[in-house]
A and B are shown apart, each in its own frame.
Chain A
Amino acid sequence: AQSVAQPEDQVNVAEGNPLTVKCTYSVSGNPYLFWYVQYPNRGLQFLLKYITGDNLVKGSYGFEAEFNKSQTSFHLKKPSALVSDSALYFCAVSAPYGNNRLAFGKGNQVVVIP
């Protein structure tokens, strides 16, 4: 079964500095990979996905992620963090067969310090 590891519970970054949220995955076959963000008392919002093609994926709000097959990673990045980026970030993976069930990581709390 597919799974995701998000090793850090919380990521603290100063406003204006680069932001990186780490994700590694496990799945049989080529993965479908997603990043979602969750603000307090809100549902998850889609940021970006990797299905196939270019390993660097660009998404909403200036976020991007790089797919690295050899390291089974899909780290989320933003060149310059904003205070409004403070939220909970989830990485998710599904397999390219069956019912495409998404397996989510436990999430990373990102705190951007003014």
Chain B
Amino acid sequence: EAGVAQSPRYKIIEKRQSVAFWCNPISGHATLYWYQQILGQGPKLLIQFQNNGVVDDSQLPKDRFSAERLKGVDSTLKIQPAKLEDSAVYLCASSPLPLAGGQHEQYFGPGTRLTVT
């Protein structure tokens, strides 16, 4: 089966500019996640969707970050305006609906490496 697709793979922007990332999850996966991975750290969840509804966005800096998942499939993550500290890899992941009494593993895309200068 095809994996999680992300684009672009790399992006360089100046601070105060805006940027958008796109993610196409594995077909049939109801849950979609966006993570931020700063160099030397583990991924940090930014937002979690189930179908086209937001489940968890408690760690999303809502003054500058936004995300949407129209029609419960593809998703976009936007940063406007970008700051130097936003330089990171942005990972998208997907998984099937949660199990009762268990949890599916997440399948990750290759990520978008953002450099803010």
Contacts and interface: CB of A to CB of B under 8 A. Distances in A.
Given A43-B111, A44-B43, A106-B40, A34 B105 contact: yes
Interface in B2-32: 4
A43 B4 contact: yes
A107 B105 contact: no
B98 A100 contact: yes
A94 B41 CA distance: 18
A50 B101 CA distance: 12
Given A44-B43, A51-B102, A99 B56 contact: yes
Q: At the interface, is chain B mostly helix, strand, loop or mixed?
A: loop
B73 interface: no
16 contacts: A32-B102, A34-B105, A43-B91, A43-B93, A43-B109, A44-B93, A49-B105, A51-B101, A90-B42, A90-B43, A94-B103, A96-B101, A99-B56, A101-B48, A102-B45, A106-B40
Size bracket of the A interface: 20 to 34
B44 interface: yes
A81 B108 CA distance: 25
Interface residues of B, number: 23
Interface of B: 4, 40-45, 48, 55-56, 91, 93, 98, 101-103, 105-111
A43 B45 contact: no
Nearest to A90: B42
Nearest to A35: B105
Contacts of B102: 32, 51-52
A101 B56 contact: yes
Contacts of A43: 4, 91, 93, 108-111
B8 to A, nearest CB: 13
Contacts of A94: 103
Nearest to A32: B103
Given A4-B42, A90-B42, A94-B103, 11 more contacts: A32-B102, A34-B105, A43-B109, A44-B91, A46-B106, A96-B101, A99-B56, A101-B56, A102-B106, A106-B42, A107-B42
